[in-house]
């Protein structure tokens, strides 16, 4: 389950914040497992339902703005055909609730543009509050709403009314417990995430990777339509729909611009742009049905992309699902991203538990949060799994009992991140006992090393909890 296990463990230890993200993904999974059970399916089920609801919202936004059911349906199909959406619907991450609440906010803004009352602003306030509790990129949504209110004549009246300001205040009030959590933990989460914005020099090395990632996550033919849709919106072609296109591009413009600039100094992970994808689907649909707007050389590309975008996108998603379940493509699992993410964790946990029993270990020691999470999630018996470093990741969890740490333990690390040298001054005896593997169909994905640790001579756990 990769990071899903990490978030699923958060759901059992709810708090107002975590080292990596705000708390919404933990609450989301808690609700999902209460409704659908404490299983892998239960962890993911609510996310799949939210993906369906997001597709409906894409249709409604497109129809409300452009008044054409065929174009709205095609926009919804384009959205569902994007690999990040179709495959990501079965993977829970902070982007799952973020995208859902972002779309609700955008839909409410569209309803206001179409003459809706002040009640829609209250929906924006609540949805933005939940989005702020989902991921720290949400301020870019607030900036997008402000840009739309400046760029779209039909929304400029909002600056003279109290409802938008009250909505913003409501969203910030909902976010305030996350701020309080950060205050009490040395601003750890803010420092981690907003520290990414720090510029240490400009480089072009990430631009190509940024474009290639978006090409893959959008799928090639959807990418082509999205590019033409952006061009249609940015050229500000004057027609009955130009103001609606301006609203869409203004709403996501700050996020697009920020991550484009970010790619000049650091890597941009493909999923970071997920909230932009609904707008790209809608604008791509507009481009697909306004072929006469484009030059003769561009039209064949648009026609081809309109025909192939949905079947190719859905086929790629199907191949991904088949590869995850049956691995029909003979890729080395060590370099297969699907296998690396989801395969072999339960077997590894069972094997590690066997080593722990054989060595009489009272606890399992780790040094990376992913391995810690997977072992905790899949461990067949209630033996403590403890990461000795980065303790702030586990501050909301029950802390290890000190008596347990004085007994024999088992340290496991993947071979490329073996920190057993850091245990030499914490224990009198650190003895390598075995190697283990995480595999798929008897082909190794990752090799691990195991050590027996005994007789602590210093503090085993790092103490950098950064609490005030």
pLDDT digits (tens, 9 = 90+) for 362-399: 999 999 999 999 999 998 888 999 999 999 999 999 88
Position 468 scores a pLDDT of 44
For residue range 442-454, list pLDDT tens digits in order: 888 899 999 999 9
CA–CA separation, 427 and 407 (whole Å): 11
Burial code (b: 16+ CB inside 10 Å, e: under 16) for 341-376 equals bbbbbbebbebbbebbeebebbbbbbbbbbbbbbbb
DSSP code string of 38-65: SSHHHHHHHHHHHHHHHHHHHHHHHHHH
Phi, psi of 449 (to 5 degrees): -120, 145
Sign of the Cα torsion 463, 464, 466, 468 reads positive
Q: Which of 274, 218, 279 is nearest to 245 (CA)?
A: 279
E strand or H helix at 453: strand 443-456
Report yes or no: 432 and 449 within 8 Å, Cβ to Cβ.
yes
Order of strands, sheet of 443-456, starting from the edge strand that comes earlier in the sequence: 385-387, 363-366, 409-414, 443-456, 427-440
Position 322 scores a pLDDT of 83
- What is the residue extent of each domain of the chain? 3-325, 340-456
Sign of the Cα torsion 56, 59, 62, 63 reads negative
Position 198 scores a pLDDT of 83
* Coil, helix or strand at residue 248: helix
Report yes or no: 368 and 414 within 8 Å, Cβ to Cβ.
yes
* Residues of the chain under the 50 pLDDT cut: 1, 467-468
Say how many C-beta atoms besides its own lie within 10 A of residue 68's C-beta: 16
Report yes or no: 210 and 301 within 8 Å, Cβ to Cβ.
no
CA–CA separation, 31 and 383 (whole Å): 26
Helical axes 277-288 vs 242-262, angle rounded to 10°: 130
Position 1 scores a pLDDT of 46
Can you say whether residue 331 is alpha, beta or left, with left for phi > 0 and alpha for psi between -120 and 50 degrees?
beta
Q: Is 50 buried (19+), middle (13-18) or exposed (0-12) by CB count in 10 A?
A: buried
CA–CA separation, 42 and 319 (whole Å): 24
Report yes or no: 147 and 253 within 8 Å, Cβ to Cβ.
yes
Phi, psi of 243 (to 5 degrees): -70, -35
Take residue 298 and report the two structure tokens written for it: 């561009």
């Amino acid at each position: 389950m990769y990071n899903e296990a990490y978030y699923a463990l958060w759901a059992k230890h709810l708090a107002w914040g975590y080292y990596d993200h705000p708390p919404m993904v933990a609450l989301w999974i808690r609700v999902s497992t209460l409704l659908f059970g404490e299983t892998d399916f239960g962890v993911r089920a609510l996310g799949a339902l939210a993906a369906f609801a997001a597709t409906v919202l894409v249709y409604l936004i497109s129809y409300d703005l452009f008044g054409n059911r065929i174009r709205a349906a095609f926009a919804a199909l384009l959205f569902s055909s994007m690999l990040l959406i179709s495959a990501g619907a079965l993977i829970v991450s902070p982007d799952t609730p973020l995208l859902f609440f972002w779309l609700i906010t955008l839909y409410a803004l569209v309803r206001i543009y179409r003459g809706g009352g002040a009640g829609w602003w209250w929906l924006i306030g609540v949805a933005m509050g939940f989005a702020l509790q989902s991921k720290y990129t949400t301020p870019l949504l607030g900036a997008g709403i402000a840009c739309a209110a400046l760029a779209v004549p039909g929304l400029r009246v909002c600056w003279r009314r109290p409802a938008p300001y009250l909505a913003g205040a409501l969203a910030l009030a909902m976010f305030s417990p996350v701020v309080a959590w950060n205050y009490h933990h040395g601003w750890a989460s803010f420092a981690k995430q907003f520290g990414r914005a720090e510029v240490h020099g400009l480089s072009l090395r990430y631009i190509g990777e940024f474009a290639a990632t978006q090409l893959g996550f959008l799928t090639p033919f959807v990418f082509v339509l999205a590019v033409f849709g952006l061009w249609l919106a940015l050229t500000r072609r004057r027609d009955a729909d130009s103001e609606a296109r301006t609203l869409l591009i203004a709403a996501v413009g700050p996020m697009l611009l920020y991550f484009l600039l970010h790619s000049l100094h650091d890597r941009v992970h493909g999923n970071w742009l997920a909230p932009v994808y609904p707008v790209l689907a809608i604008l791509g649909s507009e481009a697909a049905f306004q072929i006469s707007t484009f030059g003769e050389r561009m039209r064949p590309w648009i026609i081809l992309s309109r025909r192939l975008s949905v079947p190719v996108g859905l086929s790629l998603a199907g191949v991904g699902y088949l590869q995850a379940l049956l691995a029909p493509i003979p890729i080395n699992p060590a370099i297969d991203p699907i296998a690396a993410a989801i395969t072999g964790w339960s077997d590894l946990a069972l094997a590690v538990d066997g080593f722990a029993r054989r060595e009489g270990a009272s606890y399992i020691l780790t040094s990376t949060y992913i391995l810690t999470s997977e072992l905790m999630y899949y461990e067949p018996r209630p033996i403590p799994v403890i990461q000795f470093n980065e303790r702030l990741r586990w501050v909301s969890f029950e802390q290890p009992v000190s008596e347990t740490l004085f007994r024999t333990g088992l340290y496991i690390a993947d071979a490329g991140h073996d920190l057993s040298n850091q245990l030499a001054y914490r224990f009198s005896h650190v003895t390598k006992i075995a190697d283990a593997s995480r595999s798929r169909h008897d082909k190794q994905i990752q090799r691990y090393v195991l050590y027996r640790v005994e007789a602590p001579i210093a503090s085993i756990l790092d103490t950098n909890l950064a609490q005030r």
